[in-house]
């Protein structure tokens, strides 16, 4: 139950959730997660940066007690979502003189979500600072990571960035320094894909605020510390850009092997033409891996058998997911087995208006793919490869 030291005056007092396997009843957590909270102690005042999921509040208090924290002046709420702020009512009860510092929008949300009393919450301006005595916290508004009220906090003297969900990862480790860059970046990309990707333009607009800082260490609210901030920032700069890769995500399900055969043929044809391919069978695919595959995909191909005149429900769900995540995909195609007919193509393309992708066409077989169907798939592969080249998509 001990706190972990980060600097002489900075300690981690959060919680590791080794066993959690689903977030928001939607997002798979194969590696668990953490709810990170940090204590910063100056010569005059003490601040708690974020709290924990309320189910781990007792652990937070035990770490604070073992650290010898008997009073808290400020609780910085970078993000109002309950996995970070849910323990705030208990913290304010335990430390009756503490004030919550957050953005103005967060103040209203904390009142709605947690019924925090107005006189205990202070809204801070973008760029405002508080002085703890030899330790200065600067608040940087960074909306839409991934809610509208979010901010990050910078400890100037130590050059530490408390980034909340920004640069985070659902990765449970026993130590704040439990993962190096090689292990952390794939987990961070998955986290970005599942949570941050819909807000690429907003993140791109605010990212220069972070790039302008001298940061020695990033301390997010999920996952271990980012020990090479420059590598993480560069990865985000790439992920939020508008240019995908020369890569195709083939997303499908198959009931009687027709669509599977078509997907396999198209995959080989694309590889032969220099396009990197990732194939996702929706009957078995981890949706987090599918989200990661959408980050770089220049083209998404939806493969489905016809079910009662429409797409298979798994493929329709994948289309809805892609529409919600808003990847930077440029092109879209539909393939599959249509049996006696229906409106599957119109249905699927209508489910993903947020992609704003150009539809390159549809290839539908009546049962098992015929020789003509395979020729059509070869032509589709050639079209995808050509359009990627014309768009100047870089190698995956």
> Is the predicted pLDDT of residue 50 greater than 80, yes or no?
yes
Please list the residues that pair with 18 across neighbouring strands.
Answer: none
Give all strands (DSSP E) within 165-287, no chain letters: 217-220, 245-252, 276-281
Identify the sign of the CA torsion 220, 44, 57, 139: negative
Residue 148 exposed, middle or buried by CB count within 10 Å (0-12, 13-18, 19+): middle
Contacts of 162 (CB under 8 A, 6+ apart): 38, 49, 50, 76, 78, 152, 153, 154, 155, 219, 220, 221
Tokens of 62: 């035990």
- Predicted confidence (pLDDT) per residue in 190-242, tens digit: 999 999 999 999 999 999 999 999 999 999 999 999 999 999 999 999 999 99
Q: What is the pLDDT of residue 115?
A: 95
The answer to whether 335 touches 259, Cβ cutoff 8 Å, is yes
Q: What is the pLDDT of residues 321-352, one digit of tens each?
A: 999 999 999 999 999 998 777 789 999 999 99
Other C-beta atoms lying within 10 Å of the C-beta of residue 117: 10
Give pTM, 2 decimals: 0.95
Please state, in angstroms and rounded to a whole number, the distance separating the CA atoms of residues 171 and 29: 8
User: In which band, very low, low, confident or very high, does the pLDDT at 7 lie, cut at 50, 70 and 90?
Assistant: very high
| Mean confidence (pLDDT) of the chain | 96
Ordered by where they begin, the domains of the chain are 4-239 (3.60.15.10), 247-388 (3.40.50.360)
pLDDT at residue number 39: 98
Predicted pLDDT at 24: 87
């Amino acid at each position: 139950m001990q706190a972990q030291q980060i600097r002489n005056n900075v300690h981690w007092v959060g919680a590791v959730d080794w066993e959690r396997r689903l977030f928001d009843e939607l997002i798979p957590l194969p590696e668990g997660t953490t709810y990170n909270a940090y204590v910063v102690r100056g010569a005059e005042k003490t601040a708690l940066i974020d709290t924990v999921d309320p189910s781990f509040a007792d652990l937070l208090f035990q770490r604070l007690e073992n650290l010898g924290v008997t009073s808290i002046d400020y609780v910085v709420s970078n993000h109002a979502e309950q996995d970070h702020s849910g323990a705030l009512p208990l913290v304010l009860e335990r430390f009756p003189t503490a004030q919550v510092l957050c953005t103005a929008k967060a103040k209203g949300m904390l009142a709605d979500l947690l019924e925090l009393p107005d006189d205990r919450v202070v809204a801070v301006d973008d760029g405002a600072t508080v002085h703890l005595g030899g330790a200065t916290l600067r608040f940087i508004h960074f909306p839409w990571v991934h809610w509208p009220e979010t901010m990050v906090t910078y400890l100037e003297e130590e050059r530490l960035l408390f980034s909340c969900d920004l640069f985070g990862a659902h990765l449970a480790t026993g130590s704040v320094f439990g993962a190096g860059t090689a292990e952390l970046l794939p987990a961070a990309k998955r986290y970005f894909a599942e949570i941050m990707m819909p807000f690429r333009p907003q993140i791109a607009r605010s990212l220069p605020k972070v790039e302008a800082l001298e940061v020695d260490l990033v301390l997010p609210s999920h996952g271990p510390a980012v020990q090479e901030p420059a590598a993480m920032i560069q990865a985000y700069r790439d992920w939020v850009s508008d240019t995908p890769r020369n890569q195709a995500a083939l997303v499908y399900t198959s009931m009687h092997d027709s669509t599977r055969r078509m997907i396999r043929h198209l995959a080989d044809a694309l590889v032969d033409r220099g396009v990197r391919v990732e194939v996702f069978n929706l009957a078995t695919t981890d949706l987090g891996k599918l989200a990661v595959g959408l980050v770089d995909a220049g083209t998404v191909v939806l493969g489905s058998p016809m079910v009662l005149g429409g797409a298979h429900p798994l493929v329709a769900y994948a289309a809805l997911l892609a529409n919600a995540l808003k990847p930077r995909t440029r092109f879209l195609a539909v393939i599959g087995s249509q049996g006696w007919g229906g409106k599957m193509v119109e249905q699927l393309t209508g489910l993903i208006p947020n992609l704003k992708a150009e539809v390159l066409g549809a290839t539908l077989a009546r049962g098992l793919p015929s020789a003509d169907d395979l020729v059509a798939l070869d032509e589709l592969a050639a079209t995808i490869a050509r359009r990627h080249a014309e768009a100047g998509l870089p190698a995956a």
